Amino acid sequence: MELKLILEALLFSAQKPLNLKELRETLTAAVEHAEDDDRVRELRKVKESELALALEQLRQDHELAQRSYRLVCVAEAWQFVTQPEYAPWLKALVGRKARPPRLSQPALETLAIVAYRQPLTRAEIEQVRGVNVDGVMQTLLERGLVAQVGRAEVVGRPMTYGTTPLFLEYFGLRSLEDLPAADELRRVVIPKPEGLATADPDLATAPPEQLTLPEAAAEPEGPAGEAPVPETATALPVAEPDNHRPE
């Protein structure tokens, strides 16, 4: 019995997508139910790389068969899905699933920054976008597309953010490496200012009332509080009155 056919049976019967680790654990646990089966004991030691190869072969088999369903890998987990062209009949059978509203353009821009540059702090996101992202980040966190993943090793230890498996599922991606031009965009250097006025580690800038401008150097005043004459100024000649009247 081929490994890919065993995997096909598991994925066909599973109630949720399965990743390589879960499939391998299932093959290992099968020994308890068929101790006398040499093939079952042999597959107990199968490697994840062998599983990945068998799944890819199975995916190609279903693609060539041109059936109404296909095998896909989304968010590092494998599952059978129906072909898009059969959607009208499936909606009539199971009903239309209510989907959350579409993401706004600012939300998509912020999500793209997180996806390509993660992990990064909220201040770094605002530095790239040039605007405050508090409201947008709250939306992405509530939708489960972004999550807190740790803290930055800088002063204040601000929280860092990254995408979630739901993000991959939302966009139908196998992994972050499937993002368009991922390698090229991640190598783009984002210049950082030498110093950033910050009241809160999670804020890009401090509130206006907490920011102070450096006082300008006081210039010396002339006598009686008069403004000094610039050094480059030159005195203009003053015409003397003519006391001789023509006769």
For residue 147, pLDDT over 80 is answered with yes
Q: Would you place residue 184 in the very low, low, confident or very high pLDDT band (cuts 50, 70, 90)? A: low
- What pLDDT is stored for residue 191 in this prediction? 56
Cis bond before residue 88 (omega within 30° of 0): no
> Model confidence over 42-95: pLDDT tens digits?
888 889 999 999 999 999 999 999 999 999 999 899 999 999 999 899 889 888
Report if pTM > 0.75: no
Of 85 and 227, which is predicted with more confidence? 85
- What pLDDT is stored for residue 188 in this prediction? 57
Domains (range + CATH), the chain: 3-94 (1.10.10.10), 105-186 (1.10.10.10)
Average pLDDT of the residues in 19-31:
91
For residue 199, pLDDT over 80 is answered with no
d(CA 196, CA 191): 13
Average pLDDT, the chain: 78
What tokens were used for 144?
């489960």
For residue 146, pLDDT over 70 is answered with yes
- State what percent of residues in the chain have pLDDT above 90: 45
